[in-house]
Structure 1
Amino acid sequence: MSRLYNSTLRIYGSCWFRNASTMQEAKSKLRNHIAEKLKQLTTEEKKKQSDYVVNELFKLPVFQVSERISLFLSTDDEINTKPIMESIFERNRECFVPRYSKKGMEMVKLHSMEDWENLPMTSWKIKQPSLKEQRENALDTGGLDLIIVPGVAFTSDGKRTGHGGGYYDRFIQGIRKNQNKPPSTVALAFKEQIVDDLPFSEYDQRIDKVLYMS
């Protein structure tokens, strides 16, 4: 049964009013709104913000001590994660990346920058290890210390709206429940993706820290 879902979001001082009959509709409107904001960003501005956010990540103690790190492979509308990948390998840490299928999402091992270069591209324009290829699954070999999370919109205190598939919410919920010491979660965002509030349900997972240029 749908319920009336009315709310107001304030995005950097400007009010965005939306009346949606369901949580799903509210999230869809938010995604469309953020997509329009991101379209206005120049390549130079994206690089500027990416460089800042990545440097802030490198300063975090949790990043410095984590041995097994899950990292999303960025698209043009996301913070560039390639320098993070390079740093993980330079530090001789273990890097795991998402592999999506109809069954859900798993984090599988990436061995090197050359390995990343050779990954096939999906229909969503995302590099991803082939489903036919045998790779180490992070949850089968020791879990994760840190999950670096993508998304569409965030609040500064860790609420997150993803792309709608629920992959990360289910993965994070599962690993928090089953891993003895749950991993830390850090999201990377452009400042245009930060909102004062967003539609958030009992199934959505809050992120420990959101990094963005204020």
Structure 2
Amino acid sequence: MRQAYIARLQQLDSNTKLKEERALAQKLYDQPAWLNAQVIALTLSQSFELDTAPLILHARHKGQTVVVPRTLPHRQMEFVELTEETHFGESSFGVLEPLDGRVFDKADIDLMVVPGVAFTPAGKRLGFGGGYYDRYLADYAGATVAVALTTQVAQADEWPGETHDITVQQVVSLVD
């Protein structure tokens, strides 16, 4: 199931993807959780994912602090402030991670924009398979939102849920 959704994302027409990304970003910017957040956790997206660069730029332009994930041993992660001085390295998963910077406590992150390959409108999430976000979100008390391209919106019964799965509070999509 995960591979099928990734393949759908990789095959998405670039013009369609760009158009959807712009509409989704505007929809996200209008959400109270985004508007009220001082510290926002975002990922540095891979090429086939929804491009998070505009979201990062928008947040920083508005004076919001952006933090990005860094993986740790035992499938744990932490969030590090993104600044002009941040240095990056490639993780074992082939994604960029901060090598340095201020680590933020969970309690100091107001909004977590949670990545995944598919989401149901009710917030059920199919992640990338490592369990990093489920572990992190298990005791995270802030707001959670996912931003889903049309091809990422799934039906509730498309995959079986697991006991450790953490749903997101809100899914921003173009599907009504």
Give the TM-score normalised by structure 1. 0.75
Task: Give the corresponding residue for 1:17.
Answer: none
Task: Give the corresponding residue for 2:91.
Answer: 122
Please state if 1:166 is matched with 2:137.
no
Higher share in helix: 1
Task: Give the corresponding residue for 1:9.
Answer: none
> 1:168-187 CA deviation, whole Å, 9 max, x = no partner?
01101122xxxxxx211000
Task: Give the corresponding residue for 1:15.
Answer: none
% identical aligned pairs: 31
1:61-140 to 2 correspondences below 5 Å: 61-103=32-74, 104-111=76-83, 114-115=84-85, 118-130=87-99, 133=100, 135-139=101-105
Tell me the CA shift for residue 154 of structure 1.
0.8
> 1:98-128 CA deviation, whole Å, 9 max, x = no partner?
00122311111112xx346x53333433221
Tell me the CA shift for residue 58 of structure 1.
0.4
Question: What is the aligned-residue RMSD (CA, Å)?
Answer: 1.6
Answer with 1 or 2: which has the greater Rg: 1
Task: Give the corresponding residue for 1:42.
Answer: 13
SS at match of 1:108: strand
Task: Give the corresponding residue for 2:155.
Answer: 196
Structure 1: which 5+ residue stretches go unaligned? Answer: 1-29, 176-181
Letter in 2 for 1:153: A
> 1:108-150 CA deviation, whole Å, 9 max, x = no partner?
1112xx346x5333343322112xx3x222117x521100010
C-alpha distance in structure 2 between counterparts of 1:163 and 1:156, whole Å: 18
SS at match of 2:96: coil
> 1:56-107 CA deviation, whole Å, 9 max, x = no partner?
1001011011101111111111111111111111111111100012231111
C-alpha distance in structure 1 between counterparts of 2:94 and 2:174, whole Å: 26
Give the TM-score normalised by structure 2. 0.90
Letter in 2 for 1:61: P
Tell me the CA shift for residue 193 of structure 1.
1.2
Task: Give the corresponding residue for 2:110.
Answer: 145
C-alpha distance in structure 1 between counterparts of 2:18 and 2:94, whole Å: 20
